[in-house]
Amino acid sequence: MPYAITEKCNGCGACARICPSGAISGEKKKRHAINGSLCIECGACGRVCPQSALLDAGGSGCLMIKRSEWLKPELIMEACMACSICVDACPVGCLAMSELPRNNGVDAFPYLKDTRACIGCGFCSRECPADALTMKKRDKDKGSR
Amino acid sequence: MNKPYMGKILMVDLSNQTMTEEAIPDSVYKQYLSGMGLGAYVLYNRMPADADPLGPENILGFCSGFLTGTGSLFSGRWTLVGKSPLTGCWGDANCGGTFSPAIKHCGFDAIFFKGISSSPVYLHVKNGKTTLHDAAHLWGHDAIETEEILKKQHGPKAAVAVIGTSGEKVSLISGVCSDKGRIAARSGLGAVMGIKKLKAVVLEGVKRIGAHDPAAMKRLSRHCNKWVNFPLPLTPGGIFARVGTFMRVTPVVFPQDGLLYKSILRKWGTGGMNQLSIEMGDSPLKNWNGSNRDFPLEKSKKINPDLIKDTEIVKYHCYSCPLGCGGICATKGKYSHTHKPEYESILALGGLCMNEDLDSIFYLNDLLNRAGMDTISAGATAAFAIECYEKGILTQKDTDGLELKWGNTEAMVALIKKMISREGIGDLLADGVKVAAGKIGKGSIEFAIQAGGQEPAMHDGRNDPGFNVHYSLEPSPGRHTLGAHLYYEMFQLWKRLKDLPKPSLLFTKDSKYKIDEEKARVAAACSKFMSLSNGAGMCMFGLFLGAKRIPTFDWLNAATGWKLQPEDYMLIGERIQTLKQAFNVKHGIEPKDNFMSSRALGKIPQKEGANKGRSVDIEKLAPGYWDQFGWDKNTGKPKEETLHKLDIK
Digit-coded pLDDT (tens) for B516-544 = 999 999 999 999 999 999 999 999 999 99
- Dihedral pair phi/psi, residue B599, rounded to 5°: -60, -45
At B333, the pLDDT band (50, 70, 90 cuts) reads low
Return the half-sphere exposure (C-beta side, CA atoms, 13 A cut-off) of residue A137. 6
Clarify whether residues B428 and B495 are in a common domain: no
Last residue of one domain, picked from the residues B403, B420, B447 = B447
Reply yes or no on whether the pLDDT at A142 is more than 80.
no
Last residue of one domain, picked from the residues B155, B183, B203 = B203
Return the half-sphere exposure (C-beta side, CA atoms, 13 A cut-off) of residue B234. 20
> Using one digit for the tens of pLDDT, what is the confidence trace for B57-70?
999 999 999 999 99
Clarify whether residues B92 and B156 are in a common domain: yes
Nearest CB among B98, B206, B324 relative to A82 is that of: B324
Reply yes or no on whether the pLDDT at A141 is more than 60.
no
Nearest CB among A21, A85, A106 relative to B206 is that of: A21
Dist CA B594 CA B23 (whole Å): 36
Clarify whether residues B433 and B495 are in a common domain: no
The Cα of B317 is separated from the nearest Cα of chain A by a number of Å equal to 6
Within 8 A of B101 by CB-CB distance, chain A residues are 88
In order, the DSSP letters of B380-391 are HHHHHHHHHHHT
Name, in order, each residue with C-beta under 8 angstroms of B241's C-beta and a sequence gap of 6 or more.
B275, B276, B278, B279, B297, B300, B301, B304
**How many folded domains does chain B comprise?**
3
Nearest CB among B73, B101, B156 relative to A129 is that of: B73
Clarify whether residues B508 and B417 are in a common domain: no
* Cα angle B42-B196-B375, degrees, rounded to a multiple of 5: 90
At A145, the pLDDT band (50, 70, 90 cuts) reads very low
Dist CA B130 CA B153 (whole Å): 16
Residue B230 lies in a domain: no
Q: Does residue B489 sit in helix, strand or coil?
A: helix
Contact B319 A88 (CB under 8 A): yes
Reply yes or no on whether the pLDDT at B238 is more than 80.
no
Reply yes or no on whether the pLDDT at B143 is more than 50.
yes
Within 8 A of B313 by CB-CB distance, chain A residues are 99-101
Q: What is the mean pLDDT of residues B242-249?
A: 94
Contact B127 A38 (CB under 8 A): yes
> Using one digit for the tens of pLDDT, what is the confidence trace for B192-221?
999 999 999 999 999 999 999 999 999 999
Q: How many residues does chain B have?
A: 649
What residues of B are in the A interface, CB distance below 8 Å? 69, 71, 73, 98, 101, 105, 126-128, 155-157, 206-208, 217-218, 221-222, 225, 228, 312-315, 317, 319-322, 324, 328
Reply yes or no on whether the pLDDT at A123 is more than 90.
yes
Question: Could you count the other beta carbons within 10 Å of the beta carbon of residue A142?
Answer: 12
Residue B151 lies in a domain: yes
CATH of the domain at B46: 3.60.9.10
Residue B602 lies in a domain: yes
Q: Does residue B635 sit in helix, strand or coil?
A: coil
Residue B356 lies in a domain: yes
Reply yes or no on whether the pLDDT at B1 is more than 70.
no
Dist CA B522 CA B537 (whole Å): 22
Contact A131 B221 (CB under 8 A): no
CA closest to A113 among chain B residues:
B156
At B327, the pLDDT band (50, 70, 90 cuts) reads very high
Dist CA B100 CA B535 (whole Å): 12
pLDDT computed for residue B649 by the predictor: 87
Residue B499 lies in a domain: yes
Residue B455 lies in a domain: no
Q: What is the mean pLDDT of residues B553-569?
A: 98
Last residue of one domain, picked from the residues B447, B473, B500 = B447
Question: Could you count the other beta carbons within 10 Å of the beta carbon of residue B7?
Answer: 16
Q: Which helix or strand (DSSP H or E) is residue B345 part of?
A: helix B343-349
Helix B517-536 vs helix B618-628: angle between axes, to the nearest 10 degrees?
Answer: 60
Question: Could you count the other beta carbons within 10 Å of the beta carbon of residue B215?
Answer: 10
Dist CA B407 CA B383 (whole Å): 10
Clarify whether residues B380 and B484 are in a common domain: no
Contact A129 B228 (CB under 8 A): no
CA distances from B390 to A6, B232, B330, B383, B395 (A): 80, 45, 35, 10, 9
Clarify whether residues B18 and B103 are in a common domain: yes
Q: Which helix or strand (DSSP H or E) is residue B420 part of?
A: helix B409-421
At A144, the pLDDT band (50, 70, 90 cuts) reads very low
Clarify whether residues B311 and B376 are in a common domain: yes
Name, in order, each residue with C-beta under 8 angstroms of B27's C-beta and a sequence gap of 6 or more.
none
At A1, the pLDDT band (50, 70, 90 cuts) reads confident
Range of the domain at B363: 263-447
The Cα of A80 is separated from the nearest Cα of chain B by a number of Å equal to 9
Clarify whether residues B440 and B585 are in a common domain: no
CA closest to A93 among chain B residues:
B157
Contact B228 A81 (CB under 8 A): yes
CA closest to B74 among chain A residues:
A83
Within 8 A of A35 by CB-CB distance, chain B residues are 128
Contact A40 B206 (CB under 8 A): yes
CA distances from B303 to B283, B294, B337, B349 (A): 13, 15, 19, 11
Reply yes or no on whether the pLDDT at B496 is more than 90.
yes
Contact B71 A129 (CB under 8 A): yes
What residues of A are in the B interface, CB distance below 8 Å? 20-23, 35, 37-38, 40-41, 81-85, 88, 90-93, 96-101, 106-108, 123, 127, 129-131
Within 8 A of A22 by CB-CB distance, chain B residues are 126-128
Clarify whether residues B390 and B482 are in a common domain: no
Name, in order, each residue with C-beta under 8 angstroms of B54's C-beta and a sequence gap of 6 or more.
B85, B170, B191, B192, B195
In order, the DSSP letters of B580-623 are HHHHHHHTT--GGGGPBPHHHHTSS-BSSSTTBT----HHHHHH
pLDDT computed for residue B232 by the predictor: 83
Dist CA B373 CA B165 (whole Å): 9
Clarify whether residues B354 and B502 are in a common domain: no
Within 8 A of A92 by CB-CB distance, chain B residues are 157
Contact B207 A40 (CB under 8 A): yes
Q: Does residue A86 sit in helix, strand or coil?
A: helix
* Cα angle A124-A125-A131, degrees, rounded to a multiple of 5: 130
pLDDT computed for residue B237 by the predictor: 73
* Cα angle A30-A32-A34, degrees, rounded to a multiple of 5: 170
Domains located in chain A, CATH noted: 1-65 (3.30.70.20), 70-137 (3.30.70.20)
pLDDT computed for residue A78 by the predictor: 95
Clarify whether residues B328 and B472 are in a common domain: no
Contact A129 B222 (CB under 8 A): yes
Q: Which residues of B81-104 are buried (b: 16+ CB within 10 A; e: fewer)?
A: bbbbbbbbbbbbbbbbbbbbbbbb
Residue B638 lies in a domain: yes
pLDDT computed for residue B52 by the predictor: 98
CATH of the domain at B364: 1.10.569.10
At B233, the pLDDT band (50, 70, 90 cuts) reads confident
Residue B423 lies in a domain: yes
Q: Which of B203, B206, B306 to mutate to test the interface with A (most CBs of A within 10 A)?
A: B206
Question: Could you count the other beta carbons within 10 Å of the beta carbon of residue B373?
Answer: 32
CA closest to B72 among chain A residues:
A129
Name, in order, each residue with C-beta under 8 angstroms of B99's C-beta and a sequence gap of 6 or more.
B62, B78, B159, B160, B161, B178, B179, B203
Q: Which of B74, B106, B151, B157 to mutate to test the interface with A (most CBs of A within 10 A)?
A: B157
The Cα of B267 is separated from the nearest Cα of chain A by a number of Å equal to 9
CA distances from A49 to A14, A39, A65, B608 (A): 7, 16, 9, 77
Contact A40 B208 (CB under 8 A): yes
Residue B521, judged by CB atoms within 10 A of its CB (0-12, 13-18, 19+), counts as middle
CATH of the domain at B503: 1.10.599.10
Clarify whether residues B509 and B433 are in a common domain: no
Reply yes or no on whether the pLDDT at B332 is more than 80.
no
Name, in order, each residue with C-beta under 8 angstroms of B328's C-beta and a sequence gap of 6 or more.
A99, B312, B313, B314, B315, B316, B337, B338, B339, B340
Contact B225 A91 (CB under 8 A): no
Question: How many residue pairs bridge chain A and chain B with CB atoms within 8 Å of each other?
Answer: 82
Q: Does residue B141 sit in helix, strand or coil?
A: coil
The side-by-side arrangement of strands in the sheet containing B121-126 is B129-134, B121-126, B198-203, B159-162, B176-178, B182-184
Chain-centroid distance of CA B53 in Å reads 19
Reply yes or no on whether the pLDDT at B266 is more than 60.
yes
